[in-house]
Amino acid sequence: KYMTSAEIRQAFLDYFKQQGHEVVPTSPLIPANDPTLLFTNAGMVQFKDVFLGDDKRDYSRATTAQRCVRAGGKHNDLENVGYTARHHTFFEMLGNFSFGDYFKPEAIRFAWTLLTEVFQLPKERLWVTVHHSDDEAERIWKEDIGVDPERFSRLDEDNFWAMGDTGPCGPCTEIFFDHGPEVAGGPPGSPDEDGDRYIEIWNVVFMQYNRSADGEMTPLPRPSVDTGMGLERIAAVLQGVHSNYEIDLFQNLLKAAAAAVGTDDLNSKSLRVIADHIRSCSFLITDGVLPSNEGRGYVLRRIIRRAIRHGNKLGAREPFFHKLVAALVAEMGEAYPELAKQQDQVERVLLKEEQQFARTLDNGMRLLQQAIDELDGKVIPGETLFRLYDTYGFPVDLTADVAREHGFGVDMDGFEQAMAEQRERARATGAFSVDYNDKLDLEGETAFSGYELLEDSASVV
């Protein structure tokens, strides 16, 4: 009998509570007052100002289970979903934090004790890395903890963590779990480390600097600690499975997705993508993001359309995506009451988006398939990307996702070029301007120059 995801989340928070940490609720996916960040991408985000010394709390140790989205900005895992066992667009990060309280020795000790004593993981399957400059962390691991030097290494960029291009950052030490020789991949720092045999489970960051826009690093008022462990990854370890998608939390989601699209293949890659995407989309809508053609809303729209396309690939011919919200609420509504409360709204928003995209998806896919069949090279040209984007509402990353399945690349420069020409034409004719990642509003505006619009797609990009 294994620990469920819910039990693991609770055990983590309980452990750090016992060690004097305040249990702080998860914050929303839209960071409060932080225009530098697209989405909350780590547990430390809600404490950014505390690290910087601009905000005071009445506790100096905290622990959270934080909902995170990594689908844009500095930490972007959208392209990894469906291709690795360990990446999601939405995941929960378990963390403990010290605001000028404890530092390296205690932080390392806490992590090791939780993993090897509370969770009883075998030490010989844990690998450790530290930043190449960090003699102190190496000494603590080797002398105080007694970690085997065979499973220890010093690394460079991977062991320096930063929230974004600016903000709190510092060297870190990471703990990996060895899923065994049946899985391809080398240990951290080795040439084939990108495989999924050695999976990073916990990152312990020694927050020491604030990086400014010009790259300068100023020391924080007090050295601090910020850690993050992916709930889905530690659940996979504790439940004896390799892929995150095999854990308890995903089983019912995958079944619901299979039923909604009408497939029996629970291991289908597309099904995993759909199960992943329903989490990020539902939580983003819960936190106030709506599909649109700019900024955060466009990231949401892109994720929804990718999910719809994968469902379509599996044979779905009717809206299916919104039907998965109920299964998600059953799985996560207890831990996240705000999600349960907004179930209707989330379903409505998704259904509307499905109905809209349905009007151009089939024709767009036909055009794309034709382009792929007729191409000489292995790169989808910019004009095709642009036409799919402009006329059929295919975000360019969606087209790239399809292309990748056929072993094709996309000509991004050509796409940008076509976009620039479009903008130029719009300026010349005094029409509205278009910008990828910027506003593209065709509602009522169908006077497009240069490109033939399908009748039914005029207001549907």
Q: Which residues bind ligand ATP (CB under 6 A)?
A: 70, 75, 77, 86-88, 91, 93, 161, 200-203, 228-230, 232-233
* Residue 237, contacted partner among Mg ion, ligand ATP, none, CB below 5-8 A by kind: none
Question: Could you tell me the smallest distance in angstroms from the CB atom of residue 28 to ligand ATP?
Answer: 18
Count of positions (residues) in the chain:
461
Closest to ligand ATP by CB, 87 or 296: 87
Closest to ligand ATP by CB, 226 or 390: 226
* Residue 415, contacted partner among Mg ion, ligand ATP, none, CB below 5-8 A by kind: none
Alpha carbons 337 and 350: distance in angstroms, whole number:
19
Closest to Mg ion by CB, 200 or 354: 200
Closest to ligand ATP by CB, 95 or 393: 95
Question: Could you tell me the smallest distance in angstroms from the CB atom of residue 294 to Mg ion?
Answer: 26
SS3 content of the chain, % helix, strand, coil (to 5): 45, 20, 35
Please give the single-letter amino acid code of residue 27.
Answer: S
DSSP-assigned letter for residue 23: E
Q: Phi, psi at residue 112, to the nearest 5°? A: -65, -40
Residue partners of 122: CB distance under 8 A and separation at least 6: none
Closest to ligand ATP by CB, 278 or 440: 278
Residue 379 exposed, middle or buried by CB count within 10 Å (0-12, 13-18, 19+) = middle
Alpha carbons 461 and 457: distance in angstroms, whole number:
7
Q: SS3 for 382?
A: helix
Write the DSSP string, 291-332. Answer: --SSHHHHHHHHHHHHHHHHHHHTT--S--GGGGHHHHHHHH
Closest of 197, 200, 256, 193 to residue 228, by C-alpha: 200
Alpha carbons 75 and 202: distance in angstroms, whole number:
16
Closest to ligand ATP by CB, 201 or 314: 201
Closest to Mg ion by CB, 115 or 328: 115
Closest of 384, 445, 52, 229 to residue 237, by C-alpha: 229
Question: Could you tell me the smallest distance in angstroms from the CB atom of residue 407 to ligand ATP?
Answer: 24
Closest to ligand ATP by CB, 37 or 367: 37
Part of the chain binding Mg ion (CB under 5 A), chosen from 27-35, 199-207, 349-357, 409-417: 199-207
Question: Could you tell me the smallest distance in angstroms from the CB atom of residue 436 to Mg ion?
Answer: 24
- Residues 40 and 46 sit within 8 Å (Cβ to Cβ): yes
The pattern of x and - marking residues 144 through 183 that bind Mg ion according to CB under 5 A reads ----------------------------------------
Question: Could you tell me the smallest distance in angstroms from the CB atom of residue 226 to ligand ATP?
Answer: 10
- Residues 324 and 253 sit within 8 Å (Cβ to Cβ): yes
Part of the chain binding Mg ion (CB under 5 A), chosen from 1-9, 201-209, 269-277, 337-345: 201-209
- Residues 210 and 222 sit within 8 Å (Cβ to Cβ): no
Closest to ligand ATP by CB, 195 or 333: 195
Verify binding: residue 203, Mg ion, rule CB under 5 A: yes
Question: Could you tell me the smallest distance in angstroms from the CB atom of residue 402 to ligand ATP?
Answer: 22
Part of the chain binding Mg ion (CB under 5 A), chosen from 114-122, 195-203, 327-335, 392-400: 195-203
Alpha carbons 263 and 265: distance in angstroms, whole number:
6
Closest of 81, 78, 69 to residue 396, by C-alpha: 78
Q: Residue of minimal CB distance from ligand ATP?
A: 230
Verify binding: residue 360, Mg ion, rule CB under 5 A: no
Question: Could you tell me the smallest distance in angstroms from the CB atom of residue 421 to ligand ATP?
Answer: 36
Question: Could you tell me the smallest distance in angstroms from the CB atom of residue 280 to ligand ATP?
Answer: 10
Closest to ligand ATP by CB, 269 or 425: 269
Closest of 155, 145, 151, 146 to residue 124, by C-alpha: 151
Question: Could you tell me the smallest distance in angstroms from the CB atom of residue 76 to Mg ion?
Answer: 9
Q: Phi, psi at residue 234, to the nearest 5°? A: -70, -30
* Residue 230, contacted partner among ligand ATP, Mg ion, none, CB below 5-8 A by kind: ligand ATP
- Residues 230 and 93 sit within 8 Å (Cβ to Cβ): yes
Verify binding: residue 268, Mg ion, rule CB under 5 A: no
The single residue listed with the structure tokens 């605001």 is: 99
* Residue 87, contacted partner among ligand ATP, Mg ion, none, CB below 5-8 A by kind: ligand ATP
Question: Could you tell me the smallest distance in angstroms from the CB atom of residue 152 to ligand ATP?
Answer: 17
Structure-token pair, residue 59: 């506790």
| C-alpha torsion sign, points 27, 29, 33, 38 | positive
Verify binding: residue 457, Mg ion, rule CB under 5 A: no
Residues lying near Mg ion in the complex (CB under 5 A): 200, 203
